[in-house]
């Protein structure tokens, strides 16, 4: 069961496992839309109505330091990523949606190796964002939900 993996990784970091933390972890890990703090809060509040934003912020910090998720700072606010493996984020400037590209991971890994061998920089993790137009927004300018960052 996936929950066990989360529990283990949290305990390994010496932090307490609470129902709130599990709910927040699950909310992010089961998402693929790179939710904002507000969105995560709204989703988790359905199960924990009294949970505040402070707890969400605190927990997202814990989860990031534990390596379970990744924070993606944008100009207006941060979004959160469940895919900690090397990949490309596709950020649409039209609708604001952020999706993961299905491939590109091998190229990123190779790029890391190349940079490491030529500059001596030891990368621990990376962020690769492509900003542009998703297929839907390229076709006909659709209902522009909200401009991206």
CA 67 to chain centre: 11
Q: Which is nearer to a second copy, 53 or 123 (CB)?
A: 123
28: buried, middle or exposed (CB in 10 Å: 19+, 13-18, 0-12)?
buried
Q: Which of residues 22-61 bind a second copy (CB under 8 A)?
A: none
Size of the residue set binding DNA (CB under 7 A): 27
140 is a contact residue toward a second copy (CB under 8 A): no
Residues 36-55 that bind DNA (CB under 7 A): 36-37, 48, 50-55
Task: Examine residue 115 and tell whether it contacts a second copy (CB under 8 A).
Answer: yes
Q: Rounded CA gap, 77 and 62, in Å?
A: 18
Instruction: Give how far Cα 116 sits from Cα of 64, 103, 109, 120, 122, Å.
Output: 24, 22, 11, 5, 6
Return all residues near 72 (Cβ < 8 A) that are at least 6 apart. 34, 78, 79, 80, 81, 89, 98, 127, 129
Cα gap 97→17, rounded to integer Å: 32
Cβ of residue 75: shortest distance to DNA, in angstroms?
Answer: 6
C-alpha–C-alpha distance, residues 47 and 32, integer Å: 20
Q: Least distance (Å) from a second copy to the CB of residue 49? A: 29
Residue with smaller CB distance to a second copy, 47 or 129: 129
Q: Nearest distance from residue 90's CB to DNA, in Å?
A: 21
For a second copy, the binding residues (CB under 8 A) are: 71, 73-75, 78, 88, 90, 92-93, 101-104, 107-108, 110-112, 114-115, 118-135, 138, 149
For DNA, the binding residues (CB under 7 A) are: 11, 15-21, 36-37, 48, 50-55, 57-59, 61-62, 73, 75-78
């Amino acid at each position: 069961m996936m929950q066990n993996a989360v529990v283990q990784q949290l305990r390994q970091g010496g932090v307490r496992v609470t129902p709130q933390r599990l709910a927040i972890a699950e909310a992010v890990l089961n998402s693929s839309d790179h939710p904002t703090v507000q969105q995560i809060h709204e989703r988790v509040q359905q199960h924990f109505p009294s949970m505040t934003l402070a707890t969400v912020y605190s927990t997202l910090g814990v989860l990031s330091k534990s390596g379970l998720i990744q924070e993606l700072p944008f100009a207006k606010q941060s979004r959160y990523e469940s895919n900690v493996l090397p990949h490309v984020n596709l950020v649409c400037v039209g609708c604001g949606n952020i999706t993961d590209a299905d491939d590109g991971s091998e190229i990123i890994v190779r790029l890391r190796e190349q940079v490491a061998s030529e500059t001596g920089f030891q990368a621990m993790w990376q962020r690769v964002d492509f900003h542009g137009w998703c297929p839907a927004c390229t076709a006909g300018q659709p209902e522009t939900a909200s401009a991206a960052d």
